[in-house]
Amino acid sequence: MTNRRLLNVLNGQTETIPPIWLMRQAGRYLPEYRAIRAEAGSFLSLCYNPDFATEVTLQPIRRFGFDAAILFSDILVVPDAIGRSVQFVHGEGPKLDPISVEEINDLVPAMVLSKLSPVYEAVEKIRDKLPDETTLLGFCGAPWTVATYMIAGQGTPDQAPARLFARKEPEAFYMLIDKLVEASVLYLVKQLESGADAVQIFDSWAGVLDDDLYVKASRDPIARIVKGVREKIPGAKIIGFPKGAGLRLPDFVKETKVDAIGLDWTVPLDWARDNLQSHVALQGNLDPTLLVSGGDQLDASIDRIMQAWSSGPFIFNLGHGISPQGDIDLVHRLINRVRSYAS
């Protein structure tokens, strides 16, 4: 047992009141984030400045007292570090030059060690300034999700360009996945060595794959990252978030050996309790739209999750990131309701 309640849950314990944090808890719904974002200029200069990154990581902890802080960065700093140039265009999201077969050869995974040193510096600074009881989470994107942006050059509705690339150029595609596995292991190990208590692997686009690609592009590369990280840091605590994995979740948990599984809001609560919670801690899964709409629906949805999952290892979170329209008062209401819960 430690005084970091979220870490206790990752160690398999059940906390009477679940620890709570929110994906994208630092972001545009906070006026103090928008102020620093404007001062930094570009989004990447915010990520690559350890003082700015530290400040925006701490903002939601100061305001809400969450049980965990998540390093402020982005999954796309990895492609930026290993040889692709990434830009965030205001109102449009990330933009990269779509990678060619030849260019995949030139990627250098070890560049994450030197080029992302401001990130490791931020992790050290954040740990230094965080309350002792707050768990610090590092993260990376899963190889499949990062590859989708590298191949299409931007977000797309169903990642058809990356799926097609995997069919037409399998050799190059799996070389890209392998390089991202290697970069991710180095990156996560360094975050853990710099002071992160645990890390989360975001596979936001796991849900668009058929059986074959799910195994080869999403699940197995994540399993290799988990294994690679634990070879360097035995017992490293890792949360997987294969958004949209649905019926494949039990298989994902078994094969990747993650300590907790992030669940999106489409996952049925009783099914998750019955099929997953005896193997792994659950994290999720409130629909982020409820933090925009509020009302009785918000309270009832919080209660349903609390009732379904509180008897086992459980971390309260959203089913995906909070939206820029998220309402600060509703975030307070959510935290109060979870913390004052008596079943």
Alpha-carbon distance of 194 to 126, in angstroms, equals 10
Please list every residue from 285 through 304 that binds ligand CP3, using CB under 6 A.
none
Residue-by-residue DSSP string for 54-77? HHHHHHHHHHH--SEEE----TTH
CA distances to 106, 146, 154, 187, 202 from 111, rounded to whole Å, are 12, 16, 22, 10, 21
Q: Which has the closest alpha carbon to 337: 20, 4, 29, 22? A: 20
Residue indicated by tokens 């002071």: 195
Instruction: Report the residue from 29, 144, 165, 202 that binds ligand CP3 according to the rule CB under 6 A.
Output: 202
User: Which residue lies nearer to ligand CP3 by CB, 12 or 41?
Assistant: 41
In terms of CB distance, is 119 or 302 closer to ligand CP3?
Answer: 119
Residue of 23, 172, 253, 335 interacting with ligand CP3 (CB under 6 A) = 23
Name the residue type at position 117.
S
Which one, 49 or 277, has the nearer CB to ligand CP3?
49
Gyration radius (Cα) of the chain, Å: 19
Stretch that binds ligand CP3, among 88-96, 119-127, 191-199, 326-334 (CB under 6 A): 88-96
Q: Is 24 in the site for ligand CP3 (CB under 6 A)?
A: yes
Does 206 bind ligand CP3 (CB under 6 A)? Our answer is: no
- In whole angstroms, how close is the CB of 24 to ligand CP3 at the nearest point? 4
Residues annotated catalytic, as ranges: 24, 28, 37, 74, 149
Helix (H, G, I), strand (E, B), or coil: what is residue 43? helix
Where are the strands (E) in 15-170, listed by range? Answer: 68-70, 86-89, 93-96, 135-141
Stretch 217-246: interaction string toward ligand CP3, x if CB under 6 A: ------------------------------
**Binding-site ranges for ligand CP3 (CB under 6 A):** 23-28, 37, 43, 70, 72, 74-76, 88, 93-94, 139, 141, 145, 155, 202, 204, 321
